[in-house]
Amino acid sequence: MRLSLIIPAHNEEAYLPETLRCVSAARKNIPDLELIVVDNESTDATRAIAEKAGATVLTETIRNIAQVRNTGAAASSGEVLIFLDADTHVRPTTLEQIAAAMEDPRCLGGSVRVEYTPSTRWWVRPYLMGWEFWGHVMRMHQGAAQFVRREAFQQLGGYDTSIYVGEDIQFVQRLKKLARTRRGYTTFIDRPRVLSSSRRFTKMSIPRILFLTNPIAILLFWRARSLWTDWYAHPPR
């Protein structure tokens, strides 16, 4: 089974090297893995870092994360597509767990549970615990590491480009609905978790955090482009 791992990246020179190092270590037991980095108009060394790591590097000029993900998928060749954030580290057996889950043809895809690096702000940990609780209640699985069978991705038309934030959450919701209609299922890998940067919770102002990372705000306003311009114009790096 061929896997395609797709990493969207905009000015990620500080985080991408370690992400790629973790992928390199994890892919040793995955004989057929395609690595793609989609450069979303970076002005730093992101592209050079990805090329040095041996990734296929694509360019997407539209500043829309759903579009960036779709660009990577369109150029990939794997039976299973894995979408990994540029600041997220896979553990040594993460890719093996995904491959094992996708051996069952009834499984259309799923997500990997996320944990975050420690933050210098004491309240971030309880805030994230609350995020995780409400995300579970509202069936919102984060997209720091998602995977999907190619034919299911194509049937769904990929990520919804009319959404500017939370496109990963909405995609999983649609994937679950598709799985039910086909008497299949999606899965959630709890162990090992992927490790994602807490930079947004450390570097952004408290008002920005409470709005830009609030699951209720995301669900209510994910198509309101004007509300998310700050997320694209001034992302924490």
Smallest Cα–Cα separation from 109: which of 156, 170, 172?
A: 172
All structural domains of the chain: 3-233 (3.90.550.10)
Query: For the chain, what is the total number of helices (H) and then of strands (E)?
Result: 11, 8
**Residue 10, pLDDT score:** 96
Q: For the packed helices 65-75 and 167-181, what is the interaxial angle rounded to 10 degrees?
A: 50
Q: Where are the beta strands (DSSP E) in the chain?
A: 3-9, 33-39, 56-59, 80-84, 88-89, 107-116, 145-149, 185-196
- Residue 206 to residue 204: CA distance in whole angstroms: 6
Three-class secondary structure of residue 5 per DSSP: strand
Above 80 in pLDDT, residue 44?
yes
Please, are residues 148 and 84 in contact by the beta-carbon 8 Å criterion?
Answer: no
Burial class (CB in 10 A: 0-12, 13-18, 19+), 159: buried
* DSSP letter, residue 213: T
140 band by pLDDT with thresholds 50, 70 and 90? low
- Residue 2 to residue 80: CA distance in whole angstroms: 7
Above 60 in pLDDT, residue 77?
yes
Above 90 in pLDDT, residue 206?
no
* DSSP letter, residue 122: T
Q: Region 34-53: what's the mean pLDDT?
A: 97
Least confident of 70-74, 77-81, 164-168, 190-194: 164-168
One-character DSSP codes across 33-63: EEEEEEE-S--SSHHHHHHHTT-EEEE--S-
**CB within 8 Å of 202: residues ≥ 6 apart:** 119, 120, 121, 124, 236
Smallest Cα–Cα separation from 146: which of 178, 108, 116?
A: 108
Please, are residues 125 and 119 in contact by the beta-carbon 8 Å criterion?
Answer: yes
Average of per-residue pLDDT values in the chain: 90
Above 90 in pLDDT, residue 43?
yes
218 band by pLDDT with thresholds 50, 70 and 90? confident
Q: Region 118-141: what's the mean pLDDT?
A: 69
134 band by pLDDT with thresholds 50, 70 and 90? low
Q: Region 139-145: what's the mean pLDDT?
A: 73
Most confident range, picked from 16-25, 26-35, 187-196: 16-25
Q: Region 119-126: what's the mean pLDDT?
A: 78
**Residue 233, pLDDT score:** 74
**Residue 139, pLDDT score:** 59
230 compared with 159, residue with greater pLDDT: 159
129 compared with 206, residue with greater pLDDT: 206
